[in-house]
Amino acid sequence: MNKQTLFVTLTAAALMCGCQSSKVKISGRFIGSDAKNVYLENASPLKQALIDSAVLGNDGSYRFELKGVSATPSLYNVIYNGERIPLLIAGGDRVTVGSVGSVVRNYTVEGSAESELLRQFYQAFVTGAQRLDNIAAQFAKPDLTEEERKTLVEEYTAEYYRIRREQLRFIIENKASLAAVYALYQRLPGDRYLFNGDSDVVYFRTVAEALEKSYPDSPYLPSLLAEIARMDARNSLTSQISEAGYPDLELTDIYGKKIRLSSLTGKVVLLDFWSAELGSSNALNADLKEIYKKYEDAPVGFEVYQVAIDTSKPLWINAVQEQQLPWVSVSDLRGRGSSALGLYNVRKLPANFLIDKEGTIVARDIYGKSLEEKLDELTK
């Protein structure tokens, strides 16, 4: 999992800041592993670079000393046994970092308020992500009963949304901290957005406004404002596209390939929203497969761009393969948080939109005989 993502780029200005500099000491003990070395990493604008290393003493102790560190906190990682501990370090800090046993689950921080706040978010977030991985791994077990599969789906979904709620709660409650900036950029596996794509700008703007008061000279602030400007511009473009025709989508199929809805221009397209978790999905897809087959040789091509509103990748892939769905199957694995739902104002499932070869939406929520009659007209 990428623990820094875009947050890493926010350190660029910090490295050039002319603020007062001073020494930093980082020390502590790591107990419970055979690893003998500990490393210190600095997050630079373009990459993460190791800047120091130390051999643990017989009691597991280590020590780093840095010079010329800015008074404005910037991101460092202490790396032990292959795991990273993120720290927000400012000149003059005397920080103690250590753990007994699992590094991520058990590490403690003293001497840096921002680093301690970051620990509270980071440990909970990573631990939750590990729980999701463990639940997902259970889908690979042979001979799972339908009841066991349903239970796993419920557990995965509940944990996923719990993590997301806690992440957003942390950001709002600690909006004036640099730890909130770090939390803004963290994503669960398969997530592209913080919450709901277009609405993410609300959280970025909330943190930026708070930082203007708590860290008015922070180099992170202009970076956040630039990100907000990009989001506003993107949202404005999406709005223009919506008025001109249909909102375009670019989502990932079961093989990891990104497919644009607009790549099907020239064909009649059924944009279909469904969920593998819905008990009616098998029957609906079975009916749609019959219609799909009927028009496979029509003069004007017909295609289905089916968006799964799910959070469990194993469940989604399993449903696509078991039902042998022959069309374009995509998902962003964000469930009800999918930005596609907002773009098309979908409030309940199933839902669909029929788009003609010119790219005009000609029908919504059309099924069965009504869909066939409309396809007879559009595919001539």
Give the alpha-carbon dihedral of 147, 151, 152, 158, to 10 degrees. Answer: 160
Structure tokens at 357: 């070869």
- Relative orientation angle of helices 200-214 and 220-244, to the nearest 10 degrees: 160
Q: All domains of the chain, ordered by start, with CATH?
A: 5-123+159-237 (2.60.40.1120), 250-378 (3.40.30.10)
Return d(Cα 315, Cα 139) in angstroms, integer: 8
Q: What is the pLDDT of residue 5?
A: 47
Q: What is the pLDDT of residue 178?
A: 92
Q: DSSP letter string over 134-186?
A: HHHHGGGSTT--HHHHHHHHHHHHHHHHHHHHHHHHHHHHTTTSHHHHHHHT-
Return d(Cα 91, Cα 107) in angstroms, integer: 22
Return d(Cα 330, Cα 317) in angstroms, integer: 10
- Please tell me the pTM assigned to this model: 0.58
CB-based contacts of 225, cutoff 8 Å, min separation 6: 208
Q: What is the pLDDT of residue 144?
A: 84
Torsions phi, psi of 22, nearest 5?
-160, -175
Return d(Cα 87, Cα 76) in angstroms, integer: 5
Cβ distance 328 to 303 under 8 Å?
Answer: yes
CA angle 160, 348, 198 (to 5 degrees): 60
Distance of CA 235 to the CA centre of its chain: 18
- Relative orientation angle of helices 281-294 and 368-378, to the nearest 10 degrees: 30
Shortest CA distance to 378 belongs to which of 370, 317, 27?
370
CA angle 17, 19, 21 (to 5 degrees): 110
- Relative orientation angle of helices 146-173 and 313-322, to the nearest 10 degrees: 140
- Relative orientation angle of helices 113-137 and 146-173, to the nearest 10 degrees: 170
Cβ distance 131 to 159 under 8 Å?
Answer: yes
| pLDDT tens, per residue, the chain with 380 residues | 444 544 544 444 444 444 455 899 999 999 988 899 999 998 854 467 899 999 999 999 999 999 988 888 888 999 999 999 999 999 999 999 999 988 888 999 999 999 999 999 999 999 999 999 899 888 888 888 889 888 988 898 889 889 988 998 999 999 999 999 999 989 887 777 776 666 678 888 899 999 999 888 777 787 788 778 777 766 655 554 444 467 888 899 998 899 999 899 899 999 999 998 876 777 889 999 999 999 999 999 999 999 999 888 888 998 999 999 999 999 988 887 787 887 787 878 899 999 999 888 899 999 999 999 999 999 99
Return d(Cα 70, Cα 91) in angstroms, integer: 5
Return d(Cα 108, Cα 125) in angstroms, integer: 16
Q: What is the pLDDT of residue 199?
A: 67
Q: What is the pLDDT of residue 3?
A: 44
